Amino acid sequence: MFAEQLLLTLPPLLPEQEPLQPPVPTVLGPVDYRTWRQRLERIDEILNRSRVEEDFVRLCVHRRLARPEPLCDGDRLVLQRMAATALRASIARTLTSDSYREFSTRLADSPLLQWFCRLSRLGTVRIPGKSHLQRYQEMVDESGLREVVGTLLESAASVDRPLELAEPAELETQFLDSTCVELTIHYPTDWVLLRDGVRTLMKATILIRKHGLKTRMREPKAFLRQMNKLSMEMAKHSRRSSNRKARKKTLRAMKRLTKTAMAHASRHRKLLLNHWAGTSLSEKQAMRIGERMAVMLERLPYALRQAHERIIGSRLVANEEKILSLYEGHAAVYVRGKAGAEVEFGSQLLLAEAESGLIADWELVCGNPEHDTVLLRRSLERPAARSMKTVVGDRNFDSQTSREWLRERGIENAIAPRDASVLRARLRDARFAALQQRRAQTEARIAIFKNGFLGAPLLARGHEAQARQVAWCVLAHNLWLLAGLPRKGQEQVPKAS
């Protein structure tokens, strides 16, 4: 299996003595607290029995050993303890849906969370701050988290029952569906993109000028005031359909202001990159400011052209060519025609739910939405498909090519056919009808995952960070679900209300 191949390539862990932790106080609280505590205790047991924690720590050590700097045994032990804390803190923060700042405060005030994250001590307790929590979550990339989730799924489906489940988790039947993940972007109004770009460039210019690097220009704040004034005029004109000429006039003024701001920002960026050593900025800080400005300078010309085409030229722009956000350039238009969300803006997400409710596979698409058959093909090529024997999906996954893929791999095809007559014929089969009826529950699973774990909108910035956040949420979701399943010889853990 792929998890066993992973173990062969990762470095072994150094033996270490577990730190002495004080017992968690017994709290006679409400049933919600008792359920929360039981779930955390069960998740702690699952992390140990399934080798999830061990694999995560070994991934972190392997990533650190890839650097040219040597790592002594003492530092390696510190890294192992930090990686274990990083795994547990990231899982707990995902379960609580707290921000980094909020979770750091909760962690400092909760002996239960300190015990779960292996931070409780008999003496002084050191709690990581918000920046440390963010670095913890970035210790392993999305591909590494896929391997960790694979280890968990294999343990849950093992007939040897290392997790002591009453029944092994069923992973052979998987229900596929795609959805749209909302990102933290403005509603994609063309002139708002120009306002955002000028704001970002002028704020970066103000920061550069504060460190003594200046070229001739008006005060940057004057550009911000003028852009705010033009934005208010544009908003006023947009409420009246008869003010088309006024909107065009205002947009032309915004375009001139944007181009002037871009020219000033470009000169300041070159000045920063050439003379940052003479300021109090570090090289990383200077490079970060320069990268932020470079992104705006690269994308603003496309936003200018888009605004001109749509507002002045009154011409349509294809969805594939639209810029929805200057900060999330991969955000796309997602047209589904659903009630209350006919058009969505964000990233496409594929989820594969197993019969047991576990999420067996996922993919966050970067850029424009892709056809479900393309997502199906990539899902079949990933290691999670090795345990798949039946695929169930809606008619969007059906095509002649997808039917051939499933036939070649010996996987039962329970995807709803596009042809209505073929669908009516297949619904006479009791198994196919039962699988299609069960598929309706996948919509609920997607809602639970998006609203209860992922959050709406997704707060991570950049596709790489967003894909990693989705992987963390899949791991936390599967752990939470397994913690609620009945154990061998025991009653089911009560569900939270």
Q: Distance (Å, rounded) from C-alpha 375 to C-alpha 167? A: 31
More confident residue, 491 or 410: 410
| Least confident residue range of 123-137, 373-387, 481-495 | 481-495
User: What's residue 3's pLDDT?
Assistant: 45
pLDDT at residue 185 greater than cutoff 90: no
Q: What is the mean pLDDT of residues 470-491?
A: 90
Residue 268 is assigned to a structural domain of this protein: yes
Greater pLDDT, 37 or 339: 37
Q: Which residues contact 84 (CB under 8 A, 6 or more apart)?
A: 53, 56, 57, 118
Residues 54 and 31 in one domain: yes
Per-residue pLDDT, 239: 61
Predicted local distance difference test score (pLDDT) of residue 494? 53
Same domain, residue pair 337 and 249 = no
Q: Which of 290, 321, 352 is the last residue of a domain?
A: 321
User: Cα torsion for 63, 65, 71, 75, to the nearest 10°?
Assistant: 30
Please indicate, yes or no, whether residues 427 and 351 belong to a single structural domain of this protein. Answer: yes
- The angle that helices 283-307 and 190-210 make with each other, rounded to 10 degrees, is 150
Residue 359 has a pLDDT of 96
Tell me how many domains the chain contains.
Answer: 3
| Strand-pair category, 390-393 with 412-415 | parallel
| Residue 497 DSSP class | -
Do residue 13 and residue 139 come from a single domain? yes
Q: Are residues 446 and 419 in the same domain?
A: yes
The answer to whether position 489 is within a domain reads no
Does residue 256 lie within any of the structural domains? yes
- Residue 412: give the domain boundaries: 173-185+330-459
Question: Would the pLDDT of 1 be above 80?
Answer: no
Instruction: Using the 3D structure, point to which of 263, 288, 321 is the last residue of a domain.
Output: 321
Amino acid letter at 337? G
What is the per-residue pLDDT for 466? 94
Residue 492 covered by a domain:
no
Rounded CA-CA distance 23/41 in Å is 13
Q: What is the pTM of this model?
A: 0.89
Model pLDDT for residues 394-409, shown as the tens digit of each residue: 999 999 999 999 999 9
Which of 277, 292, 321 is the last residue before a domain boundary? Answer: 321
- Same domain as 273, residue 220: yes
pLDDT band at 184 (very low <50, low <70, confident <90, very high): confident
Continuous segment of H or E residues that includes residue 177: strand 173-182
Q: What is the pLDDT of residues 98-117, one digit of tens each?
A: 999 999 999 999 999 999 99
Q: Is residue 14 assigned to a domain?
A: yes
Shared domain for 335 and 443, answered yes or no, is yes
pLDDT at residue 192, as a whole number: 93
Residue 332: half-sphere exposure toward Cβ, Cα within 13 Å: 21
Residue 467 lies in a domain: no
pLDDT given for residue 210 in this prediction: 94
Give, as one character, the DSSP assignment of residue 368. S
User: Are both 147 and 177 inside the same structural domain?
Assistant: no
Q: pLDDT tens-digit profile of 202-231?
A: 999 999 999 999 999 999 999 999 999 999
Same domain, 88 and 133: yes
Residue 342, domain CATH: 3.30.420
Report pLDDT digits (tens) over 255-266: 999 999 999 999
Q: Where are the alpha helices (DSSP H) in 308-429?
A: 372-381, 400-409, 420-426
Of 462, 442, 467, 436, nearest in space to 351 by CA: 442
Confidence grade of residue 473 (pLDDT, cut at 50, 70, 90): very high
Does position 309 have pLDDT exceeding 50, yes or no? Answer: yes
Domain co-membership, 132 together with 222 = no
In terms of domains, do 194 and 146 share one? no
* pLDDT number for residue 127: 94
Query: Is residue 127 located within the same domain as residue 60?
Result: yes
Percent of the chain with pLDDT over 70: 95
Q: How many helices (H) and strands (E) does the chain have?
A: 17, 6
Within a domain: 131: yes
Q: Which amino acid is at 342?
A: E
Q: Is residue 476 part of a domain?
A: no
